[in-house]
Structure 1
Amino acid sequence: MVVSLAQNPGGIVQRTSTKESFATNCVLNPKGSLAPMSTHALDVLVVGAGPTGLVTALPRTLEIYKFLGVLDEMKGPGMPMPDLLQYVDSKPGKAVPVQLCQEESPAYPERIPWLLGQDTACRVLLKHLRGFGIEVEMSTELYHFEQREDHVTASIIKAKNGIQFEKVNAKYLVGADGGKGFVRKSLGLSFVGETQDDTHVLVGEVQAYGIDNEHWHKFGGAPQDSIMLRPTDRSDSEHVFFLSCTGPNFDLKKGREDHNYLRKFVYDVAGFPDLRLGEIEAITDYRLNIRTVRNVRNSRVFIAGDAAYVHSVTGGQGMNSSVMDALEDSLASKGSASDNLLETYTIERLPVIEEMLERTTTILEKTFKAVSVWPSPVHLDQLGVNYRWSPIVIGDGVENLHVIAEESGGMDTGSSYIIDRGEALRPGDRAHDAYGLLDLKTGAIKRLFDIFGVEHHTILFFVDGHMDFSSFVPSLGRIPRELIQTVVLHRSGASISDLDNSTDFVLYDSGGHAHAAYRPEASSRSIVIIRPDGVVGALLGDMEGVNKYFSGVLSPTFQLT
């Protein structure tokens, strides 16, 4: 059982109770409020109900939404990233991609970035929580917590129908409560970085007419005055666009307070007679803040998303990074996790976040120096984000990285963002998809991404007719069935044997896509373990490696030996 507390921008506090497959020992009354709790009444208390606490969508995030079972609903109200249309002398110029994209392939089914507002993403996630019988409870706030040897005691205030105080005991607490959040500050974690007071941009949502909904419209540009109008999911029906304004002649305070001044600035910079602004729905100022913590875990408390780092908006990495944080938190905080796994949240995520801060800041600096940043680099799709240096991933090609990372204190891990095109798959990389897989039990055609899931490890057994797997699957019996699923993949001579019937899936790789991705020619790999976060945990040749992998991620109770 997981409970999530968050304060929304309007000052109203909400609590979300979210059931997870790994926790069942908290009782809910019929209305969803918490019944009296004893020690360990919860497995995880999540503070924050934004995209991070409940879990722009880049390709990697779209894949995660697929694993969560919400991809179609996320794409429905969203839209593909439009090309940028730069106006020259008040006339439309040449449209250019905002971000470079590679072609889709069996291994990479999602290549196109998808625009999706945070509010929309939250609505979809909350809807799915309600599908589990969970409702958001407003006006609830965390105001104190204490860490103990085997749990965290949190004190909360419920301000609905009078003030009520309640104490909640949880095995772990996750702070996903934003850059100004309570949890990080209470832990005393340093938030290292800088605030650039001279970099301000006015942003908001306005009705705009006279421009199309197919392009991201840019008028002017650094170092002179500049405005941009980008379509939203409401552009077709309500003509609502996202607006940004900046420049040496722009009075940001006046623009925020005086809508007539703001309109005149937009018209003067655009010089485009067809452009007309309607209602100005929301407006605020964005000030560049680049900060990060040095550790995202303190004993039984984790922090994630903006609570752990804030950065430039350029590159669209924020909400996408937060979703990956959320999955890492879930993986690390399950009751079956080993101490090694709990430690890897910082080890794996911090190098990724630090590289993300560096790359997005570089793009921002170019933006304000009139250096062209369009299109953005392809690696910002996050499909190359990897944890090859992590001590819990095992197999060919990562042993030396483990030694280097340990000797350098995690400071020399290579790029956590970029994997060269065509480079062989390694442990710690994003798991590849493969389509055209015939399910020999049901006759259905599947993709690997239909099978991977956030609640379990997936073990792939590649059968070539020379490998005896008769003792492999039974040896996994000590691991609870809800934590793993097994898949046998045949390349030729497909048939269902007694062994195959003991596995969850038996697939015929008719196109060879799965074998090409995970077991290239002359490879001794026959077993691949995919983590719940869609990362390759291990590439192995025998069952001994399977034992080694699970001894690193599961508590001793569930280990194979």
Structure 2
Amino acid sequence: MDVDVLVAGAGPTGLTLGVDLARRGVAALVVERAETLFPGSRGKGVQPRTQEVFDDLGVLDAMRAAGGPYPPRMIWRDGQQLGVRPMFEPVEATEGAPYTEPLMVAQWRTQEVLHDRLTELGGRVAFGRELTGLDQDPEGVTARFADGATVRARYLVAADGGRSAVRRAVGVGMTGESVDPSPFLVADVRVRGLDREYWHAFPGEDGTGLMLCPLAGTEDFQLAARLPEGETPDLSLEGLRKLVGAGTHLDPADLTEVRWASEFRPRAALADRFRAGRVFLAGDAAHVHSPAGGQGLNTSVQDAYNLGWKLGAVLRDGAPDALLDTYEEERRANAAAMLDLSTGVHRGEVQRGKATVQLGLGYRESSLSEDTRPEPAEPRAGDRAPDGTVDGVRLFDAFRGPHWTLLGAELPGVRSLPAAPSYGPGVFLVRPDGYVGWAGDSAEGLDAYLAGVGLA
């Protein structure tokens, strides 16, 4: 084997997985078809649950430095300001959930932070490596590249986007629907004549319109527009100037530069499977969202976070390969729910706020969630493990790292802490990805669970 894990795609999904595997000592290689990291803003919202993930991976401070908070939205019509509206329903922070507001980080900056962290941990990205085919056998996967090279890996993870070459190579279908018949465009631009205190919205009379959002941590604005049905987006400087001139009070020349631009048709689609033998699908290769509500990038990062510790457990800790089946079990259902949510936000049926911060996501129905208490109270097995303090130790600090954490009992080889008052009475085993795996009134019966995840 050349590597334990080959990761196709150096977007947020592939880089997150690369970071998680590197800190676990798993030999992994991230390959990217392009010669550089993705240059645009696209997915810019980092939800509170993803901030917790980034805290664990050691990059939250860098993410905060690379971005900033979301501004309120200023509504314009005919050159007049109609009023200011918040972008999100407020969600109150608590001891158990300290992060409640989305963070704005341009996607290209998110990727830079993750790439820097990957390099710091000894991992790397091989750029200019286009995967063109693969073969599987009982021992591993052989990936073929456009330059004629091959890489042999025990497992392959497709993080290569909505048009995934890996997904097509393994014959996994994708079922979905159009969310909106209208064409959309998104671009990173330089604009003069607008302040950076607001996300400026210019709604049209017919459901069309455009928005100009100051991208935190940069000098750019993100231009996003919904065009009339049947119109072909013009992504050139002149085309975007014409759009801004027609849809806002700005002069076309106030748009001074186009740094990146793309068009898309909002779609919701879900891969029929997330695992095909030794190949796993993650991120947009597994699910494609409308950008409304900021769920796509976040769901993708959490795919990688779920899969990373399981690959590490199988490859380094002796856990059975069957543990990897729980990736599809847990993440496909989660992605399906997030697709429905994204579509609901796009169509105005769901408000951004409590529904979109992803703090309520969990795996109660998973085969990895075992609660032996006769009358379980929250948190239950499968729930996100909340923050708190035990003997002066912050739980998120105790959780940080690739290990399991046991609250309320002691276990050799596992980080153990006294019972957490905020959790109530009982014993709680917290997974490496911050979810309660096992809960009981005592530690009785825990041994059998530990054996299934490679800890006994």
TM-score of Structure 1 vs Structure 2, range by shorter chain = 0.7 to 0.9
Q: Which amino acid aligns with 1:115?
A: M
Shift of the alpha carbon at 1:315?
A: 0.7
Q: TM-score, normalised by structure 1?
A: 0.71
Shift of the alpha carbon at 1:46?
A: 5.4
- Counterpart check, 1:341 vs 2:323: yes
Q: Which amino acid aligns with 2:433?
A: D
Query: Could you tell me whether the CA contact under 8 Å between 1:341 and 1:553 is conserved in 2?
Result: yes
- Tell me the residue number matched to 1:227: 210
What is the correspondence of 1:546-557 to structure 2 with a 5 Å cutoff? 546-554=446-454
CA deviation vs aligned residue, 1:439-480 (integer Å, no higher than 9, x gap): xxxxxx53111111351111112xxxxxxx6xx53xx4xxxx
Q: Which amino acid aligns with 2:332?
A: L
- Tell me the residue number matched to 1:165: 149
CA radius of gyration, larger in: 1
Cα distance in 2 for partners of 1:446, 1:297 equals: 38
- Tell me the residue number matched to 2:72: 83
- Counterpart check, 1:424 vs 2:378: yes
3-state SS of 1:306 partner: helix
- Counterpart check, 1:74 vs 2:63: yes
- Counterpart check, 1:282 vs 2:212: no
Cα distance in 2 for partners of 1:428, 1:8 equals: 29
Query: Could you tell me whether the CA contact under 8 Å between 1:153 and 1:167 is conserved in 2?
Result: yes
- Tell me the residue number matched to 1:376: 352
Pick closer, same or farther for the CA change 1:283–1:20 going to 2, 3 Å: closer
Shift of the alpha carbon at 1:137?
A: 3.1
Cα distance in 2 for partners of 1:283, 1:385 equals: 33
3-state SS of 2:266 partner: strand
Pick closer, same or farther for the CA change 1:273–1:175 going to 2, 3 Å: closer
Cα distance in 2 for partners of 1:535, 1:188 equals: 32
Query: Could you tell me whether the CA contact under 8 Å between 1:397 and 1:426 is conserved in 2?
Result: no
Pick closer, same or farther for the CA change 1:117–1:104 going to 2, 3 Å: same
- Tell me the residue number matched to 1:33: none
Shift of the alpha carbon at 1:216?
A: 0.8
Pick closer, same or farther for the CA change 1:107–1:113 going to 2, 3 Å: same
What is the correspondence of 1:213-292 to structure 2 with a 5 Å cutoff? 213-221=196-204, 223-235=206-218, 238=219, 240-248=220-228, 251-253=231-233, 255-257=234-236, 259-271=237-249, 276-292=254-270
Query: Could you tell me whether the CA contact under 8 Å between 1:225 and 1:249 is conserved in 2?
Result: no
Shift of the alpha carbon at 1:275?
A: 9.4
What is the correspondence of 1:146-545 to structure 2 with a 5 Å cutoff? 146-156=135-145, 159=147, 165-168=149-152, 170-195=153-178, 198-221=181-204, 223-235=206-218, 238=219, 240-248=220-228, 251-253=231-233, 255-257=234-236, 259-271=237-249, 276-334=254-312, 335=315, 336-366=318-348, 375-395=351-371, 424-435=378-389, 437-438=390-391, 445-461=392-408, 472-473=410-411, 476=412, 481=413, 484-489=414-419, 514-516=420-422, 518-519=423-424, 523=425, 525=426, 527-545=427-445
3-state SS of 1:198 partner: coil
Q: Which amino acid aligns with 2:339?
A: L
3-state SS of 2:155 partner: strand
Q: Which amino acid aligns with 1:530?
A: V
Q: TM-score, normalised by structure 2?
A: 0.86
- Tell me the residue number matched to 1:506: none
Query: Could you tell me whether the CA contact under 8 Å between 2:23 and 2:121 is conserved in 1?
Result: no
Cα distance in 2 for partners of 1:302, 1:531 equals: 21
Q: What is the identity percentage for the equivalent residue pairs of Structure 1 and Structure 2?
A: 32
CA deviation vs aligned residue, 1:125-158 (integer Å, no higher than 9, x gap): 111122133443332233332222232233345x
Query: Could you tell me whether the CA contact under 8 Å between 1:184 and 1:307 is conserved in 2?
Result: yes
Cα distance in 2 for partners of 1:249, 1:549 equals: 54
Query: Could you tell me whether the CA contact under 8 Å between 2:5 and 2:155 is conserved in 1?
Result: no
Query: Could you tell me whether the CA contact under 8 Å between 1:396 and 1:426 is conserved in 2?
Result: no
Uncovered stretches (5+) of structure 1, i.e. residues with no partner: 10-15, 25-41, 401-422, 439-444, 462-468, 490-513
Cα distance in 2 for partners of 1:316, 1:195 equals: 18
CA RMSD of aligned residues (A): 3.0
CA deviation vs aligned residue, 1:429-448 (integer Å, no higher than 9, x gap): 1110014x44xxxxxx5311
- Counterpart check, 1:130 vs 2:119: yes
Relative contact order higher in (CA < 8 Å, ≥ 6 apart): 2
Cα distance in 2 for partners of 1:18, 1:426 equals: 25
3-state SS of 2:272 partner: coil
Shift of the alpha carbon at 1:250?
A: 9.1
Shift of the alpha carbon at 1:548?
A: 2.9
